[in-house]
Every structure is written in C-alpha cells, then in structure tokens.
Amino acid sequence: MKLTILHCLFITLLLLGSTVGAATRISLVDGRWHLNGDVTHPGAPAEGLLMNVRMVNATFEDRNDATRPPGFDADANTDAFIAQIPAYHAAGVRAFTLCLQGGMAGYEDALNSAFNTDGSLRPDYLARVERAIRACDKQGVAVILGLFYQRQTKLFKDDDAIRAAMVNALRWVAERGFKNVLIEIANEYPHKGFTHDLIRTPQGMASLLRLAKDTAPDLLFTASGYGDGRLHDEVAAACDFLTPHFNGTPVEKIPERLAALKRFGKPIVCNEDDKTGASAAAALRACVENGAGYGLMLKKKNQYFPLEFEGEKDDPKFYAALAEITSPAASPQANTPSASHQLTLVAVLHDEAALTGAHDIEIREGLAYVAGKGFTRRNLPASGVFPCEPGAGGSFAIVDVSRPATPKVLWFADTPLAYEDAETVLPPGPGRLLVGTRDLFLFDVSNPATPLQLAAIEDRPRGDLINGCARLAASV
C-alpha cells in the first residue's frame, strides 16, 4: 500500500455490521480454548485449557414416585446451582458439565430424562436446562452438555429413538442460539449400563458422532470414556475434542494416559474425576502440566442427595489450587516458553489453486482467511522478490482450521484476476472481512463456505498494491 492511502482511504464500520447481543461464545483456535475470542486464563499455567466441574444433577428430577426424595423441588435445586455460578467462575471454573439425563444421584431407579421413549423432548425439563445454560452464558461460562447417561437410556424403545433424541436435542440447542455449548454425546459410552449397542460400541458411538456433525456442523462434539483415561481409536478420531475420565486413574498415571491421547492431535478436557482435596489438586496439576483441562466431580456434594452447591466451599483445597493455577501470578516463568507452548507441525495443506503465493493470513474462530499474490515456486522471479505483475492474478481462500490436524479449504476465489496481488486480509468485525489487493473488497463471511462480496473500492493510484490494513475505532 502506498503511503498516501493513509490519508485518503477510511471506511466506516457501519458498512461492516455490528455485534448483536453479548452471548458467550466458546471456540477452539489452534487447539486452544477461547471464550468470546480471548484465550482462557491468559498468562496462567492453565492458559488455553478448559477448567470445568461436573454438575450433571443441577437440573435433576425424579419422576419415579417410588424413589423421589420427599419434598424435592427440581426448580429450587436448579436455582441453588445458578446462584453459585459467579462464585465458581471467580475460582477459575470456565465450564460446567450438565446432562439431559443427569447422573447417579446416590440411589437407583430414578427417572431423570429430558427425553420421551420415542426421542421427543420434554419441555419442562428443558426449561431448567435452558435457565442453567443462559445463567452460565451471562457469567462467561461454557457448558459441556451431555445427552445420554447409562442409567436412563433403557427408556428408549429402539435405536431410531436414540438417533431422534440426539437430533432433536441438537436442533433445540441450535434454535436457542446458544454459543457457549459443547456437546458430549454420552457419558462413559462403553459402560455396560447402556443397553443399546448404538451407544456402547465404538462403531455405534462413532456413527452417532458423525450424525451429530452432519446435523449441527457449528457445534463441537465429544464422547467420554471410562475412568481409566482411555478412548477407542474410532471414537477419538470422530471427536472434536477428547474427554477422558480419571476416576479410576491414580494421579501418577495421568501423564501416561494423556501422552497416549495426544497422538490424536486434539484438545483434551478431562471432565470427570471423583478425587477430592489434595488428591484432586494433584490431579489438576498433572493435567495442566501435560496440556489438558481438568474436571472435578464432587459426587457426595454436587451429585448425590442432598444436592448442595456452595462455590469454592465445596472443596476448599481443590478450589484454592484451581484459583492458583488459573491466575497469571501463579506462573513464575510466564515469559519463558513452556512445553505446552512449543510449536509443533501437525499438518501441511497444499492447494495450488486456492493458496497460490499465500502472503497474509488471519485466524478467527477456527477459520483462516488467506490472501495470496498469485506466484508459486515455479514462476518465482529470478530476483526472489514478488513484484506485482499485472495479469498474473492472485488468490483468496477461507480454510477451516478448527481441527488443526485436518485443515480443509471451505472456499476459494475461482477468478484470480479479480483479486490480483492479494496481500492482506482483516476481519474488522463479526461476519465481515476486508481483502486488500490492487483494490479493497468487503465480504460477508457469515457463511464461510459461500462468502458474499458486499462492496469494493477502486481508487488507483491512491489505493494500489494494498499491503496492510489496521482498524482504528470506527475506521480502517
């Protein structure tokens, strides 16, 4: 870009749209967790990890008259949890695991499910779940929403009802516009308590994960394994992130289990461990030191009757350790690269049509916007410099990098001369993208697979060979 462009080219962001609402959005960027575009726990040992607590019975009910605890009020129970969300957040919690079929409540034969036998949804149950999710959203907290629990799926009449239940739940999440929700298809899918092979076998669970992604491609999915910290290869490959449980895993074995899972190249979030006190704190540190998030399950406090939610008072030793490890002050070597911050090459994407002469890249919310000058090694000038050659064309592409090990080109410009000498990209706001070539283009990228050109400015020679863009307040 020529210097004179700084004096003449300003674009009001009224053209670029504006952020609507203040919903909490959870995303993965280069394998690290972000909330509203910011990495979790910046500057702390837990930076980029997802610290969570299992609260699956925060929305509990028991429709079995023979087992329901006398006087239990499901709405009051949910209210008690919601009231403590700010306290948990202050202690370093950034996600809760909830579940549409709850969890073990300390007694058998409870009837606790958001689903009917045919897979249809029960509005009164979902009303409590929605209140809890929106309360988390307000506090900047994510929700790992479980769908199936081993003690409840026997109510489904067949496999088709299970598939219908999953699809209906995912559509409900999408229709509510939740951006802070991750999906756990099943809690400990290999558990013998599951009566359907569709859930219990690796092949069946992998098929459900694939169906889930087809149904709701904007969500991130997982399925948790047993408490031994292991997952079947087929299931791990189908997950967007991995959720081992460490109930039965000694602290000293946790690094070994995590090392085995890292070969899948996916973020790891333990979302259940029933250790308490100093033992839970040690397990927390073992996870963080090995690049994984940690999830506490205080079953006698938060999951078994009588259900209680008291913030950090639930387990003072653990929550003190959590506050420390999520605090920047707890990192004595904050400026020294640690093992979890070392760069590792996980994939190479080669697409000469889409990425020719790639020159600039910006990554937002798991998407990479790439501008290219239109040169390859085969036509590199003898000088080794890439001058603008009129008629040589350029490239512009949008790449899905939400799964770093398998990047995928979603869209690229098939008219290279339209984006000649593309050298810069800038996402100035949600759903908008500026592309600098010999001209300046504004795109709507709300649907990254089908971007729409909204405007273009051609003002040569004052605006030519645009090499960089920066946003300053309402101008670019």
Residue 76: in which H helix or E strand, if any? helix 74-90
Residue 316: count other Cβ atoms within 10 Å of its Cβ. 11
What is the average per-residue pLDDT within 156-181? 97
Based on the domain organization, do 133 and 227 belong to the same domain?
Answer: yes
- Of residues 437 and 261, more confidence is placed in 261
Helix, strand, coil percent values for the chain (each to nearest 5)? 30, 20, 50
Mean pLDDT rounded to a whole number for the chain? 87
> What's the pLDDT band for 358 if we cut at 50, 70, 90?
confident
Packing angle, helices 316-325 and 277-289, rounded to 10: 20
The answer to whether residue 156 sits within a structural domain is yes
Based on the domain organization, do 304 and 365 belong to the same domain?
Answer: no
CA 290 to chain centre: 19
CATH number at residue 428: 2.40.128
Structure tokens at 454: 């909204």
Task: Read off the pLDDT of residues 313-337 as tens digits, 9 standing for 90 and up.
Answer: 999 999 999 999 999 964 444 444 5
Question: Measured on CA atoms in the order 414, 415, 421, 425, is the torsion positive or negative?
Answer: negative
CA-based nearest residue to 143, from 20, 318, 24, 293? 24
CA-based nearest residue to 135, from 107, 92, 96? 96
Residue 163: count other Cβ atoms within 10 Å of its Cβ. 18
Based on the domain organization, do 95 and 11 belong to the same domain?
Answer: no
CA 431 to chain centre: 18
Question: Measured on CA atoms in the order 270, 273, 276, 282, is the torsion positive or negative?
Answer: negative
Q: Do the Cβ atoms of 168 and 120 come closer than 8 Å?
A: yes
The answer to whether residue 468 sits within a structural domain is no
CATH number at residue 107: 3.20.20.80
Residue that terminates a domain, selected from 287, 308, 341: 341
Based on the domain organization, do 108 and 56 belong to the same domain?
Answer: yes
Based on the domain organization, do 390 and 283 belong to the same domain?
Answer: no
Q: C-alpha angle with apex 384: 378 to 386, nearest 5 degrees?
A: 80
> What's the pLDDT band for 219 if we cut at 50, 70, 90?
very high
Q: Do the Cβ atoms of 164 and 57 come closer than 8 Å?
A: no
- Of residues 304 and 427, more confidence is placed in 304
Q: What pLDDT, on the 0 to 100 scale, is given for residue 3?
A: 33
The answer to whether residue 466 sits within a structural domain is no
Cα atoms in the 13 Å half-sphere on the side-chain side of 209? 25
Residue that terminates a domain, selected from 282, 311, 341: 341
SS3 202: helix
Asked if the bond preceding 217 is cis, omega within 30° of 0, the reply is no
Rounded to 5 degrees, what are φ and ψ at 185?
A: -60, -50
The CA distance from 216 to 211, in Å, is: 9
Based on the domain organization, do 272 and 419 belong to the same domain?
Answer: no
Asked if pLDDT for residue 340 goes beyond 50, the answer is no
Asked if pLDDT for residue 427 goes beyond 60, the answer is yes
The answer to whether residue 99 sits within a structural domain is yes
Based on the domain organization, do 130 and 271 belong to the same domain?
Answer: yes
Overall domain count for the chain: 2
Based on the domain organization, do 273 and 354 belong to the same domain?
Answer: no
The CA distance from 300 to 217, in Å, is: 36
The answer to whether residue 463 sits within a structural domain is no
The CA distance from 167 to 178, in Å, is: 16
Which residues span the domain enclosing 126? 31-341
Q: What pLDDT, on the 0 to 100 scale, is given for residue 448?
A: 84
Share of the chain above pLDDT 90, in %: 64
Structure tokens at 288: 């963080």
The answer to whether residue 476 sits within a structural domain is no
Based on the domain organization, do 210 and 61 belong to the same domain?
Answer: yes
Based on the domain organization, do 40 and 161 belong to the same domain?
Answer: yes
Based on the domain organization, do 143 and 274 belong to the same domain?
Answer: yes
In sequence order, which residues have a C-beta less than 8 Å from that of residue 288 and are 6 or more positions away? Answer: 45, 46, 49, 294, 325
Based on the domain organization, do 251 and 316 belong to the same domain?
Answer: yes
Task: Read off the pLDDT of residues 88-142 as tens digits, 9 standing for 90 and up.
Answer: 999 999 999 999 999 999 999 999 999 999 999 999 999 999 999 999 999 999 9
Structure tokens at 253: 């074995």
The answer to whether residue 467 sits within a structural domain is no
The answer to whether residue 259 sits within a structural domain is yes
Residue that terminates a domain, selected from 277, 310, 341: 341
